[in-house]
Amino acid sequence: MGGDLAILACGGRLPVRLAEAYPDALIVGLAGVPNDLGGRAEEHGLEELGSLFARLAQAKVSRLVFAGHLTRPPLDPGRFDATMTALAPRLMAAMGQGDDALLSEVIAVFEEQGVAVVGAHELLPDLTAAPGLLAGSAPGKAETRDAARAADILMALSPLDIGQGAVVAGGQCFGIETIQGTDALLDFVARTPDTLRRGYEGVYVKAAKRGQDLRIDMPAIGPRTVAAVADAGLAGMVIEAHRVMILDRAETLQAVCDRGLFLAAQEL
pLDDT at 212: 82
Q: What is the separation of C-alpha 108 from the centre of its chain, rounded to a whole number of angstroms? A: 19
Q: What is the pLDDT of residues 203-259, one digit of tens each?
A: 999 999 888 888 887 899 999 999 999 999 999 999 999 999 999 999 999 999 999
Question: Same domain for 186 and 213?
Answer: yes
Question: Same domain for 139 and 112?
Answer: no
Question: In whole angstroms, what is the distance from residue 109 CA to residue 218 CA?
Answer: 19
Domain that holds residue 243: 128-266
> Which of 78, 103, 123 is the C-terminal boundary of a domain?
123
Q: What is the pLDDT of residues 33-47, one digit of tens each?
A: 888 887 888 999 888
Question: Same domain for 36 and 150?
Answer: no
Domain count within the chain: 2
Q: What is the pLDDT of residues 16-30, one digit of tens each?
A: 999 999 999 999 988
pLDDT at 190: 96
Quick one: which of 104, 127, 107 has its CA closest to 118? 107
> Which of 89, 107, 123 is the C-terminal boundary of a domain?
123
Question: Same domain for 45 and 140?
Answer: no
- Would you say 156 and 212 are in contact if contact means Cβ atoms under 8 Å apart? no
On average, the pLDDT of the chain sits at: 91
Mean of pLDDT values over 122-135:
96
Stronger pLDDT, 200 or 98, i.e. the higher one: 200
Question: Same domain for 88 and 213?
Answer: no
Question: Same domain for 103 and 13?
Answer: yes
pLDDT at 98: 65
**For residue 1, pLDDT beyond 60:** no
> Which of 123, 142, 165 is the C-terminal boundary of a domain?
123
Q: What is the pLDDT of residues 48-93, one digit of tens each?
A: 889 999 999 999 999 999 998 776 667 788 888 899 898 888 888 8
Quick one: which of 156, 164, 163, 151 has its CA closest to 245? 164
Question: Same domain for 109 and 52?
Answer: yes
Q: Is 68 left (phi over 0), alpha (psi -120 to 50) or beta?
A: left
Three-state secondary structure string covering 128-152: CCCCEEEECCCCCHHHHHHHHHHHH
Instruction: Place 170 in a pLDDT band, splitting at 50, 70 and 90.
Output: very high
pLDDT at 32: 82
The reported pTM is 0.86
Question: In whole angstroms, what is the distance from residue 171 CA to residue 255 CA?
Answer: 26
pLDDT at 2: 65
Angle in degrees, CA 250, 252, 255, rounded to 5: 110
pLDDT at 106: 85
